[in-house]
Amino acid sequence: MEIASSVALVTGANRGLGRAFAQALVERGAQKVYATARRPESVDLAGVEVLPLDVTDPASVAAAAQAAPDVTLLVNNAGISTGQSLLTGDLAEIRREMEVHYFGTLNVTRAFAPGLRGVVNVLSALSWFAAPGATSYAAAKSAQWGLTNALRLELPQALVTGVHLGVADTDMAEKIEGFPKLAPADLARIVLDGVERDEIEILADDWSALVKKALQEPGVFTMS
């Protein structure tokens, strides 16, 4: 996968990881970069084409696909974290996390599938375990990981890459303490380097590599 020959679209590109991805794609010479957000006016990057996109709204997804029919590289970055407990939390919020991470990723990938040569799904180390205060998020990310693996079967013409990371230094993680935080620009560099090497799974930091290794050991990986 050559970044310089791609036309890329990034979801949730108005801040955090999405903004870093869009900026890195521009800097690496992508032919065109569509930066999308639910509020397009919040995108402040130079060198991109801004589109409105709500990944949970089929009409919005269809409109974006019609406006950007030349997309070859899709970065499914849009995400939320509601901090819900699966048993006692707000069920509407739990559903919203699943709508964004699982169905949102599926909605956008389906809409752009015919022209895709690369798909990058931003997952999490929490795809593989659950932590207090993030059980709903972990379940949604686990579902998105399963979706990523399944898409490889249905998109044989495309490189489908799953990205796992611990904690990134973004607004979403500002209240998380006690873990090293990966700078968004560093993550974008690591991921795009991996995409250009045709990697189907990227462990972006030591934390995600540790969790992946623990899956192969006896017992259950937990956090308390």
**What residues act catalytically?**
137
- 122 forms beta bridges with 163
